[in-house]
Amino acid sequence: MRIPEKLKHGDEIRIIAPSRSAGILSEEGIQKAKKRLERLGLTVTFGRHVFEKDLQNSASIQQRIEDLHKAFSDKQVKGIVTVIGGFNSNELLPYIDYELIKQNPKIFCGYSDITAIATAITAQTDMVTYSGPHFSSFQMTKGQEYQTHFFTQCLMQDTPFELKPSEQWSDDAWYLDQENRRFEETAWKTYHAGAASGTLWGGNLCTLNLLQGTAYMPKLDNTVLFVEDDEMTIPETFARDLTSLLQNVTSIKALVIGRFQRASRITEEQLLFILDKHPMLKEVPVLYDVDFGHTQPMFTFPIGGEVLVDASEGLIKLLRF
């Protein structure tokens, strides 16, 4: 895997909207997120079509592809961050110029629905992409220190480092009320002990599964899988989505599961019941309730990078990213 050049002070990052539009964000929120990124020493610019908004709060495929290609081809742009998630980034996959991206490798970061496009780029170009905060995530106040710390650790330096649990987590609608939030103590948990290292693939589970049967699905055998899902999932749908993914492999090296939102009703009892169905998960390290996905705060991790997971110690270390 090729590692894109890390961001440094003064670099330009381009904000694009391959899923939902920046038009759904408030002007106050946009300015807050922009200023936070600027305080990291980055120059923030926006794709031409990020505020276009159709019936489903997105732009046309052509407009989104134009902004994506322009961001990768522009020599002044050193990194690309997506506005927000949604439902439709997989619409772009057949129209992406993957050779253009190969010739212009640079950081590409987002999560949730962006899992489809990030995974496709890595699978087609052998370039590491990143599952991490959207541009809109930088509007958030409480929990921002943890999120920003691991964003910069992953994207602005290249020394191997350990991902640490946050002190507290929440999945409140912070974008509606930044002050009145309910936080709980964080605890990463072990389903099956052991340690393993390998290539990391994953992100949003139901989005990743959209790639099955296409040219954009990577080979997942003998890799470390990171998966999470949002409040739209329930125990039954998570169970079948996980089963579908695991049926694509003969073996994996480790599994790491992001923390579930409260509305999903995936309790610890439900999750353990689901995991118990899979004999292969009793043979590899498995961690759950980890700080990525749709709860806050989140860390950033590399799709296609190298990671060490020690479930006996509750340890995750990024090795090549």
So which residues are the catalytic ones?
112, 228, 294
Q: What are phi and psi of 228, to 5 degrees?
A: -150, 165
Q: Give 167's contacts (C-beta < 8 A, 6+ positions apart).
A: 146, 185, 186
Quote the Cα angle for 170-174-178, to 5°.
110
Residue 49 to residue 43: CA distance in whole angstroms: 19
Q: How far is CA 131 from CA 49, 82, 189, 289, in A?
A: 23, 11, 21, 17
Q: What is the CA radius of gyration of the chain?
A: 18
Residue 28 to residue 30: CA distance in whole angstroms: 6
Residue 91 to residue 65: CA distance in whole angstroms: 10
